[in-house]
A = this chain, B = another copy of it.
């Protein structure tokens, strides 16, 4: 292990033994070298005469750029578009995102309770960075059984960890399976418990109610009291798209801050889904624990930065500059987000009206949904894959088959088309039964 890594680990162990305990082997080994990046940062500050450190090309203190490229942009200046962003992200954007987290999570009462968010190349990259730091081949990760398939590919193939599932919904399929979570932790033979929550959930569109979140928090606290060391990772990709009133206020992440010495937490979120900007690839990862120690958070941020450096070097400056600008933009931006939210909410409510109708009772079971982009049904008397294939081939209707469930993205179907969409799916199931 390199000296710099040893130094970083020493600080982390002293200031947050829980985060230190959670580190994977790679998480322990990785460090930010005091090389080009550090020397360049120093030069940026002090090289007032000539800066010959820079890995880009400059002329007249501006990046050299092609007008052929610059012509695609308004508002932004070339130095907001073309140079490299810092590996950890544009500092001002990180600050703005931190403020947003505080605004939306009333339990996070002060800046020092959480780390500075580090910019990631979209949400998946945030999940990768989490796994880089905390998952290895002897680890388990506990996730509800309705999940994004890429979790398996990432955690099992890339990180050699074991994915342990528990049923997302309780036996009556009325809500979150708190007992299932509790049992999954109890059944683990590991002291190191890694939990992943993804609410609003992909694929089901479910978010826990306030009451359920209280229960989830109580379970985690109880198990931490029993001596389990627990890392809670929150994939908040669809954050904010809550369509009912009794749901979680803020992220589960906010419940973990200061909860227990044996509990550490991280939050993965970003613009992709919240701002309908999937192709711009900007997300964040943020840490929190019981100790709320600035030095420990700094180590985690640095290790995350080194993971970024060794995977993609840095994230798009162009995208970061746009989001930084828009976040300072005020009312129009906020108003527009509310408008788009209302479109999705209206669709979700319409789907609710449709799918529980008596005429469909023999055709499918509906999983609870109240948020996000999707909802799932379980076709009766046939398989989801058969329904998918037939709906597509015969009727030009695209859905996703996931095991026994059919995922329907109401995010991408018009309000006026929803009746017809489900009528077609119902017809297909009737044909197949």
Residues of A whose CB lies within 8 Å of any CB of B are 2, 26, 29-31, 33, 35-36, 39-40, 42-44, 46-60, 63-69, 71-76, 81-85, 121-125, 128, 149-150, 152-154, 157-158, 202, 275-281, 306, 309-319, 322, 325-326, 329, 332-333, 336-337, 340, 343-344, 373, 388, 392-393, 395-402, 407-414, 417, 420-421, 424
Closest CB in chain B relative to A164 CB, distance in Å: 18
Q: Which residues of B contact A417 (CB under 8 A)?
A: 50
Complex: how many Å from CA A48 to CA B396? 5
Given contacts A36-B149, A46-B396, A68-B326, whether A56 and B336 have CB atoms under 8 Å apart is no
Q: Known contacts being A66-B333, A373-B57, A411-B56, is A85 close to B311, with CB within 8 Å? A: no
Contact (Cβ within 8 A) A29 B157: yes
In the complex, chain B residues whose CB is within 8 Å of the CB of A410 = 52
The answer to whether A122 touches B313, judged by C-beta atoms less than 8 angstroms apart, is yes
Closest Cβ–Cβ distance, residue A43 to chain B (whole Å): 3
With A68-B336, A322-B72, A396-B47 known as contacts, the answer to whether A59 contacts B343 (CB < 8 A) is: yes
Q: Once the chains are docked, how many angstroms separate the CA of A264 from the CA of B373? A: 44
Q: Which residues of B contact A336 (CB under 8 A)?
A: 66-68
Instruction: Tell me the smallest distance from the CB of A7 to a CB of chain B, in Å.
Output: 15
Q: In whole Å, how far is A129's beta carbon from the nearest beta carbon of chain B?
A: 10
Give the residues in chain B near A73, CB-CB below 8 Å: 72-74
| Known pairs A326-B69, A411-B58; A400 contacts B85 (CB<8 A) | no
Checking B76, B82, B277, B395 against A65 with a beta-carbon cut-off of 8 angstroms, the contacting residue is: B277
What CA separation (Å) do A84 and B400 show in the bound complex? 17
**A344 contacts which chain B residues (CB < 8 A)?**
57
A316 to B57, CA, bound (A): 23
Q: How distant is A217 from chain B, measured CB to nearest CB, in Å?
A: 29
> Do the beta carbons of A398 and B51 come within 8 Å of each other?
yes
| Chain B residues with CB under 8 A of A123 | 313
Q: CA separation between A409 and B51, bound complex, in Å?
A: 8
**Which of B46, B322, B373 is within 8 Å of A398, CB to CB?**
B46
A46, A279, A398, A409 — most chain B CB neighbours (10 Å): A279
Q: A239 CB to closest chain B CB, in angstroms? A: 14
Evaluate whether A157 and B26 lie within 8 angstroms (CB atoms) in the complex, with A47-B398, A340-B64 already known. Answer: yes
